[in-house]
Amino acid sequence: MARRLLGILAALSLAAGLGIATSAHAEKRVALVVGNNDYKNVPKLLKAVNDARTMGDTLKQLGFSVMVAENQNRQQFSETLLAFDRAIEPGDTAFFFYAGHGFEIAGQNYLLPTDVPAAAEGQEELVRDASILADRVVERLQNKKARTSILVFDACRNNPFERSGTRAVAGGGGLAPMTQLPEGVFSVFSAGPRQTALDRLSNDDANPNSVFTRTFARELLQPGENLVQVAQRTRRLVSEMAESVKHKQVPVYFDQMVDDVFLSGVAKDAAARPADPPQKVAALPPVSVPRVPKEETTNAPIASFSRHNGGWTVVFSFADPTLGISWRMAGNGDFRETGFMDTLDPRTRKRMPSPSIELPADAQAGTIEVRYVDQSGDMQGPFPIRFDPEAALIRDQRKILDMTATSWLSFREFNGLLVYYTHLVSYRCAIREVRIGIDTAVPNQVLKMPPCDIRDPSTITAGMPLYMKLAPSTQVVSVELTYRDGSVSEIKSFRTGNRSNN
């Protein structure tokens, strides 16, 4: 009891100190970690407090001001959340971690204080009134105008109200998915919907932390990984460990972030750039502003590349009117005119130069030099445009996949129920991995893609797998793509009711 009292007093003292910070100290990192072991009326836990302490130590290493609260009853939990509120200022990054019992009622998740009553069937209101609604924590962070809110719940355990010989409050193990999150919120659950999380892998597992927390805390410290990548790696590692003991535990995350957030270092592809000053917020990836040579005009062209069966189409874009466009591969012969279109440019009243060129399918990486005649008749350029076939192909296919997400899967009745993923195979060069979930919102199995042939990327050859059979009762299939650059798509759900019969 004395330890709990000292813990909450320390938390309140820290919050008071942070609460009087001036606006000059805005955009900081603040965290609250809560661990509840010592339950009075439901089964006690062994590792929740250790999990909170481990997460607290981890977040301190990442520059967070951390409040650690242990074994909180209802009143203490409320006071701790109030102290956390006072520590948050507009623009801050707020991190909330909870380890303990959690319970889902009618699709809403409740975090259970240590004095939650031992409710029985029909007494759901007792649990609601005595617990902390997880959605309310999200709402409080939004009200404080935190720029980034990260919520992590290692609370997906068995129904704490089950008793031998009695009927428990309605609800199974695990928590419900939080799919309706506001912008700027990222949440992670230690197990998927209706799954339970493991405290240990076996009786010989002496690790002081749960399987999820020991993994997640370690992954958070990996430099250059954004939140999605941390969650993905955690999910895979935890699910593999759980599978090794024949248990189903697939952590799930819900992402409503506008930008990538890096808690430990910057993006890996930015590592070569000069180091920025230490940041106190979950910084966006550094933005490099290209320096334009003084002799260049502001009408330097940009180019877009698209791959088709015959090769490459390159389209140049200019900010100002042009009277003619020519190009060549750097160091390779004379400049060639792009020709003209049968269209008048209303700005010049002259025929509009064709803005596109064609490159062969086997075009090698190199630099395209582009020059143009401006409205005054002067030649401008040449301007270098880098052509990297592999990178251009991946960007082009990624863009197509993003624009055609509703076509990733299709269903057909033919001697049963088939799900076709031909669309994904057609643009597989942009994809590192496809994961699907059958009748679950959590994509928990890998759908193997054929290898990518950069020379002929869209070809589908005989023998390539394009569909799989599903149980006739299947209602929904979820899909998540990991792209070649390591970024991850939103989870898309496809209902099998949208199917054809031919």
316, burial (CB in 10 Å: exposed 0-12, middle 13-18, buried 19+): buried
Q: For 85-97, what is each residue's pLDDT tens digit?
A: 999 999 999 999 9
Average pLDDT of span 107-136: 85
CA distance 381 to 299: 10
Which residues are bridge partners to 435 per DSSP? 446, 480
Give the long-range contacts of residues 462-468, CB within 8 A, separation 24 or more. 464/425, 466/420, 466/421, 466/422, 466/425, 467/412, 467/418, 467/419, 467/420, 467/421, 467/422, 468/418, 468/419, 468/421
Read off the pLDDT of residues 352-383 as tens digits, 9 standing for 90 and up. Answer: 899 999 998 888 888 999 999 888 888 888 88
Is the torsion defined by CA of 263, 108, 201, 161 positive or negative?
positive
Cβ contacts of residue 351 below 8 Å, gap of 6+? Answer: 340, 341, 342, 343, 344, 345
Q: Across residues 74-103, what is the average pLDDT?
A: 94
pLDDT (0 to 100) of residue 497: 77
Answer yes or no: are the C-beta atoms of 491 and 479 closer than 8 Å.
yes
What pLDDT sits at residue 107?
74
**Residue 476 reports pLDDT greater than 80:** yes
Percent of the chain residues past pLDDT 90, beyond the cut: 37
Q: What average pLDDT does range 433-442 have in this prediction? A: 89
Contact call for residues 51 and 93 (beta carbons, < 8 A): no
Lowest mean pLDDT among 66-70, 377-381, 451-455: 451-455
Looking at residue 430, what DSSP letter applies?
G
For range 149-160, the mean pLDDT: 84
Tokens coding 113: 């204080």
The contacts of residue 117 (CB under 8 Å, 6+ apart) are 41, 123, 126, 127, 130
Of these ranges, 207-216, 392-401, 405-414, 416-425, the one predicted with the greatest mean pLDDT is 207-216
Q: Quick one: pLDDT at residue 84? A: 95
Separation between Cα atoms, residue 62 and residue 45, nearest integer Å: 28
Q: What is the pLDDT of residue 159?
A: 66
Q: Kindly indicate the confidence band of residue 273, based on its pLDDT and cuts at 50, 70 and 90.
A: very low
Cα separation, 227 vs 153, in Å, equals: 15
Query: Mean pLDDT, to the nearest integer, of 40-67?
Result: 94
**Higher local confidence (pLDDT), 18 or 409:** 409
Indicate whether 32 pLDDT > 50: yes
* CA separation for the pair 86, 41 (Å, rounded): 31
Q: Express each pLDDT in 199-223 by its tens digit.
A: 999 888 899 999 999 999 999 999 8
Is residue 13 scored above 70 in pLDDT?
no
Q: Report whether pLDDT(299) > 70.
A: no
For residues 25 and 47, give the distance between their C-alpha atoms in angstroms, rounded to a whole number.
Answer: 35
Give the C-alpha separation, 141 to 330, whole Å.
Answer: 54
Do residues 100 and 52 lie in contact, with contact meaning Cβ atoms separated by under 8 Å?
no
Whole-angstrom distance, CA of residue 345 vs CA of residue 271: 45
Closest residue by Cα to residue 152 from 90, 197, 105, 85: 197
pLDDT of 275 > 80? The answer is no
Look up the pTM and report it. Answer: 0.52
Find the range with the poorest average confidence among 21-30, 99-108, 430-439.
21-30
Measured torsion, CA atoms of residues 279, 12, 94, 253, in degrees rounded to the nearest 10: 130
So what's the pLDDT on residue 14? 43
Of residues 221 and 484, which shows the higher confidence score?
221
CB neighbours of residue 351 within 10 Å:
15
Question: What is the rounded average pLDDT for all residues in the chain?
Answer: 81
What is the mean predicted confidence (pLDDT) over 477-501? 79
DSSP string, 403-417: HTGGGS-EEEESSSE
Query: How many Cα atoms sit within 13 Å of 415 on the Cβ side?
Result: 2
Give the pLDDT score at 2: 43
Average pLDDT of the segment spanning 4-32? 52
pLDDT at 278: 40
Q: What angle do CA 51, 57, 62 make, to 5 degrees?
A: 125
DSSP 377: S
For residue 331, pLDDT beyond 80: no
Tokens of 219: 């992954």
- Cβ atoms of residues 418 and 467 within 8 Å: yes
What is the per-residue pLDDT for 174? 60
Dihedral sign, Cα of residue 124, residue 130, residue 131, residue 137: positive
Q: In the prediction, which pLDDT does 131 show?
A: 92
SS3 category, 331: coil
The band of 256, judged by pLDDT with boundaries at 50, 70 and 90, is confident
Higher-confidence residue of 266 and 251: namely 251
- Greater confidence (193 vs 317) lies with 317
Spatial separation of the C-alpha atoms in residues 480 and 424, rounded to whole Å: 11
Q: Name the nearest CA neighbour of 339 among 348, 326, 350.
A: 326
Per-residue pLDDT, averaged over 444-459, amounts to 84
Q: Does the pLDDT at position 18 exceed 80? A: no
Whole-number pLDDT of residue 54: 96
pLDDT score of 19 more than 70: no
Query: What DSSP character marks residue 45?
Result: -
* 224 vs 459, residue with greater confidence: 224
**Does 390 have pLDDT greater than 70?**
yes
Q: Check whether 433 has a pLDDT greater than 60.
A: yes
pLDDT class of 286 with cuts at 50, 70, 90: very low
